[in-house]
Structure 1
């Protein structure tokens, strides 16, 4: 049946979905900041039960590999790896921004001859961004961390760019780019958008190594030092 389970945990939205031959069967989603570790396996179990399926029928696991939340990405990948190891099935890794771009393609069919600029918030005036062709999601500019100013993406000109995602919102008032249009949705990537991408990887046997694969964070984690407590 070519059933693929997809896991997306790169943002506060935690979602899982099942696709058959790239077509969506069902999705479960919850928005809870910091709740991925508690919710992802619960969502998977609930998704399978509600659709009369069990893990033994899943033929591959697809996971969002980043960029995004450090903790969320680690939880998603660890869950995917554990399932793949236990079930002896392949692991598929998908770029988070490509998933977001695919979500736009599925919901906004009226656009053509444009390029997509999915953007995820990376705190302050920084975003994670990439650029893709609308028609086939050919990569024009790879995922990278960008500090936004009025001249950001000046090297991408000559074709209409559609900017979307929760990172695009904070740039709309200061953007001076002549070719950029802002679109309100989708704001976040979701597992339901992963089906066609994952199925293509599955058919081409583009699988990942369970030991060596790490999330694509794009930048180093900047934690804060705990304050010294007085005795």
Structure 2
């Protein structure tokens, strides 16, 4: 069986990232960390990456997208771009959790990862984060949820295990658990299309595809409209 050509997109935060895989081989990646760059850059980034790797967009066998939680606008852009390509090329759509893909990065670079639990945190303003706790197999110890951080957050788990915290919301928690030796922190872990692609390849093998017509990203919070524009609650 020929290795699939998979294009992965990550737009759930301020990072705009694309990656191209030929089977398990990473062919190339492109990334911007510029505010509000997604809508104006992602199509160009995809086309240039595919062409620079010696392929045409018509060669792509599946599209993977980071499905949230995250920025409403970013998720909408990534989703609409991915769905448009899937419709046009008649190829499957694969969704990967933003928090799972963050954890995948840290797990891959952690020695003896089975010793730890992993807690990705995305900043949701003030003292709130989008988070979950996972083991090294990406099995949930606590489900994905919005959490308001305080000194008691995850104390039951921290009493038993060392937990590695990371992501844009982790710094807020660091001060609250500064005296807990089981709370470990890793900096500079940002969403990337590369782990999205790696996790999507596993779903591709299982044919765990989304319904392109009805797929919506995982906003985690309801979206409402105000006079000032789009917001979340």
Q: Same fold (TM over 0.5)?
A: yes
Cross-structure match for 2:150: 149
Cross-structure match for 1:116: 118
Deviation at 1:111, TM superposition (A): 4.3
Q: Distance in 2 between matches of 1:224 and 1:148?
A: 27
| Cα distance change on mapping 1:222 and 1:167 into 2, 3 Å | farther
Structure with the higher helix share, 1 or 2: 2
- 1:123-202 correspondence to structure 2 within 5 Å: 123-134=125-136, 136-157=137-158, 158-175=160-177, 179-186=182-189, 188-202=190-204
Confirm or deny: 8 A CA contact 1:23 1:195 kept in the other structure. Answer: no
Q: Secondary structure at the match of 1:156?
A: helix
Structure 2 spans left out of the alignment, 5+ residues: none
Q: Distance in 2 between matches of 1:109 and 1:34?
A: 36
Q: Distance in 2 between matches of 1:90 and 1:224?
A: 35
Q: Distance in 2 between matches of 1:169 and 1:27?
A: 27
RMSD of aligned Cα (Å): 1.7
Confirm or deny: 8 A CA contact 2:69 2:220 kept in the other structure. Answer: yes
Q: Distance in 1 between matches of 2:228 and 2:220?
A: 25
Q: Distance in 1 between matches of 2:219 and 2:74?
A: 11
Confirm or deny: 8 A CA contact 2:11 2:75 kept in the other structure. Answer: yes
Deviation at 1:143, TM superposition (A): 1.2
Deviation at 1:221, TM superposition (A): 3.1
Deviation at 1:79, TM superposition (A): 0.3
Confirm or deny: 8 A CA contact 1:151 1:177 kept in the other structure. Answer: no
Cross-structure match for 1:90: 92
| Cα distance change on mapping 1:40 and 1:181 into 2, 3 Å | same
Question: What is the TM-score of this pair, normalised by structure 2?
Answer: 0.91
Confirm or deny: 8 A CA contact 2:114 2:135 kept in the other structure. Answer: no
Cross-structure match for 2:19: 17
For residue 212 of structure 1, the aligned residue among 211, 214, 224 is 214
Structure 1 spans left out of the alignment, 5+ residues: none
